[in-house]
């Protein structure tokens, strides 16, 4: 049996089929700022292709997925309390300190 060892600087070429919904899910995960740099670079290139291929879907993807915020049910209750004029602090919000910081960042506070 022959064994070929390739170093990490070799890239692989492949062909695959995917529907637009699953492509957007894939790109949402891979283009996330928390993703590894190399896969983000591929995702950015794929997003460029998506922008040229389906510009309306690309714009909606950016608006509703990539540049959107996801808020938990508890976070939503905190926002509703704030909108009602209540002063809400982290300790009585039901959110962990990390969740509180993330919610305040989303709200720009």
Active-site amino acid positions: 30
Domain spans in the chain, listed from the N-terminal domain onward: 20-66, 73-107
CA 35 to chain centre: 9
Residue 85, SS3? coil
Name the 3-class secondary structure at 76: helix
56 pLDDT more than 70: yes
What six digits make up the tokens of 69? 């915020």
User: Percent of the chain scored above 90 by pLDDT?
Assistant: 81
One DSSP character per residue, 4-34 reads: ----TT----------HHHHHHHHHHHTSTT
Q: What is the pTM of this model?
A: 0.71
pLDDT of residue 98: 96
* Per-residue pLDDT reduced to its tens digit, 10-19: 777 777 789 9
Report the chain's mean pLDDT, rounded to a whole number. Answer: 92
* Span 30-55, average pLDDT: 95
Residue-wise pLDDT tens digits, 83-95: 999 999 999 999 9
pLDDT, mean of residues 58-79: 96
């Amino acid at each position: 049996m022959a064994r070929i060892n390739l170093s990490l600087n070799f890239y692989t070429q492949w062909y695959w089929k995917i529907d637009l919904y699953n492509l957007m899910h894939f790109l949402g995960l891979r283009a996330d700022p928390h993703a590894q740099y190399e896969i983000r670079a591929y995702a950015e290139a794929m997003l460029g292709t998506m922008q040229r291929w389906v510009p309306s879907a690309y714009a909606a993807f950016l608006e509703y997925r990539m540049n959107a915020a996801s808020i938990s049910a508890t976070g939503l209750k905190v926002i509703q309390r704030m909108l009602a004029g209540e002063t809400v602090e982290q300790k009585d919000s039901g959110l962990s300190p990390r969740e509180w910081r993330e919610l305040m960042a989303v709200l720009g506070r």
